[in-house]
Structure 1
Amino acid sequence: MARIGIIGSAGRMGQALRDAIAQGGHDYAGGVDRDGDPAALAAQSDVLVDFSAPGALESNCEAAIAVGVPMVVGTTGLEERHHWLIDAAALSIPILQTGNTSLGVTLLAHLVREAAQRLGPDWDIEIVETHHRMKVDAPSGTALLLGEAAACGRGERLGDVEQRARDGITGAREPGAIGFASLRGGTVAGDHAVHFLTDHERLTLTHMAENRAIFARGAVRAAQWLLGRAPGRYTMPEVLDL
């Protein structure tokens, strides 16, 4: 049993996390939001789960470091500078950052990496994601996670091969590119499809999220897994021993 604190507790994901904490037999240590004090929450928690906003990451990491509590970061829309903050925090605390805490998506990323490695450069890769109309970032953190898995399978950096938008006369598809398309509408919790396409043949790996509860359950499992770990930066595949 762990005392789990939630940073970003007021939203729909916060409610899903509270439900998952109770279902997992853990204690809800409390929550903070935009005007709250993450340091006070960290002091009364065994582990923190952060689903807030990129702009709050620095203060959240400082709060966790100050009292030595582990932290799961599920916030999306992170930029390179945010990853530097996470790397720095990992020198002092165990911290796990992911664009998606779903166990199913974690396994999907593993399969995407394997497929990209085994199929080779003759197969084009396109990633299509669909989310609810209120989502503010695109491509989704999950789509980027899957893109990174595909690029890793090919021994490349995603930033060197990604294509995030096509409009107008774009010319032929660049060989080796990993393309992204983002759809927004309705109340879709999150659908992701990774298409592998070559001459006369297509393979699609898909994950569909029906409810935010799947992300909450995965985040709670990751939080529990972090307890007792040495300082370092961890990933969801390690939670599943992939």
Structure 2
Amino acid sequence: MNQVRIAIAGASGRMGRMLIEATLKADDAVLVAAFERPESTFIGKDAGDLVGSSCGVTITSDVAEGLAKADCLIDFTRPEGTLQHLALARAAGCGMVIGTTGFSAEGKAEIAAAARDIPVVFAPNMAVGVNAVFKLLDVAARILNEDYDVEIIEAHHRLKVDAPSGTALRMGEVVAGALGRDLESCAIYGREGVTGERDGQTIGFATVRGGDIVGDHTVLFAGIGERIEITHKSGSRMPYASGSLRAARFLAAHKAGLFDMQDVLGLK
């Protein structure tokens, strides 16, 4: 069995640890590198110790050296760090799975440019269940059409720095696309004071931050006399890690190109 050689950025973070655990448990993947910032106290430690299972892979800040022996880098860090890693992955000819959110238009353009040389899966949410929900939202929006108001409610832990979440925004894009709307022009991200009646062409977003909520997303289609709610709730980060490994396996069959989880799951 050919094993996919995995490198993980942000090894000591919540997602980094989950990715290490998932990789160490997988029969068809092997952890070959784990990265942290130079000032991290985890530099020099065994990456497996973060999840209670030593593996012989030392956490390092030398990304270029680590990528030389990897097939795929999985990155759930911050936009600025991810783009630095992307440039190094491109130079190394290493594929990349990007779960980081909060990119600017310029950052997304950099990802698209790098994908001309290396294979990249870039998605706001790697969980298989969430991507099934994206498909359901497309179908629901086309059926319900213009007769239902759309509101998207998302909740995450207190440490999340961007809002709305990348997943919520992608949900909005899916619904807007199915309805023939442009999300950038029809999205409403907050309401306060006397706002007047709701414009039926808008898509509203509401954001909740608190505690240790992993991630809850609900899309509400509100009609006259009925409501339809499509909800996904994450109980842990393991679905994101499992989906990321699935994406890494997918990339092993590609030399270059920009993909998302809908491609990985064959939903397009």
TM-score interval, normalised by the smaller of the two chains:
over 0.9
Alignment of 1:13-92 (within 5 A): 13-25=15-27, 26-35=29-38, 36-92=61-117
- Whole-angstrom distance in 2 between the partners of 1:233 and 1:134: 29
Question: Which has the larger Rg?
Answer: 2
Could you say which residue in structure 1 is the equivalent of 2:53?
Answer: none
Any conservation in 2 of the 1:38–1:59 contact (CA below 8 Å)?
no
Structure 1: runs of 5+ lacking an equivalent: none
Deviation at 1:228, TM superposition (A): 2.2
Deviating runs (4+, > 3 A) in structure 1?
A: none
Alignment of 1:97-112 (within 5 A): 97-112=122-137
One-letter amino acid matched to 1:11: G
Give TM-score scaled by structure 2 length: 0.87
Could you say which residue in structure 2 is the equivalent of 1:191?
Answer: 216
Could you say which residue in structure 2 is the equivalent of 1:150?
Answer: 175
Could you say which residue in structure 1 is the equivalent of 2:52?
Answer: none
- Whole-angstrom distance in 2 between the partners of 1:134 and 1:58: 21
Deviation at 1:149, TM superposition (A): 0.9
Could you say which residue in structure 2 is the equivalent of 1:11?
Answer: 13
Any conservation in 2 of the 1:9–1:31 contact (CA below 8 Å)?
yes
SS at match of 1:17: helix
Give TM-score scaled by structure 1 length: 0.97
Larger relative contact order (Cα-Cα within 8 Å, sequence gap ≥ 6):
1
Spell out, residue by residue over 1:43-78, the C-alpha distance to the aligned partner (whole angstroms, 9 max, x if none): 121111011111123221111111211100000111
Deviation at 1:231, TM superposition (A): 1.1
Deviation at 1:22, TM superposition (A): 1.5
> Among the aligned pairs, what percent are the same residue?
40
- Whole-angstrom distance in 2 between the partners of 1:3 and 1:128: 37
Any conservation in 2 of the 1:48–1:71 contact (CA below 8 Å)?
yes
Any conservation in 2 of the 1:124–1:197 contact (CA below 8 Å)?
yes
**RMSD of equivalent CA atoms:** 1.1
Any conservation in 1 of the 2:33–2:67 contact (CA below 8 Å)?
no
| Alignment size in residue pairs | 242
Structure 2: runs of 5+ lacking an equivalent: 39-60
One-letter amino acid matched to 1:32: F
Deviation at 1:33, TM superposition (A): 2.3
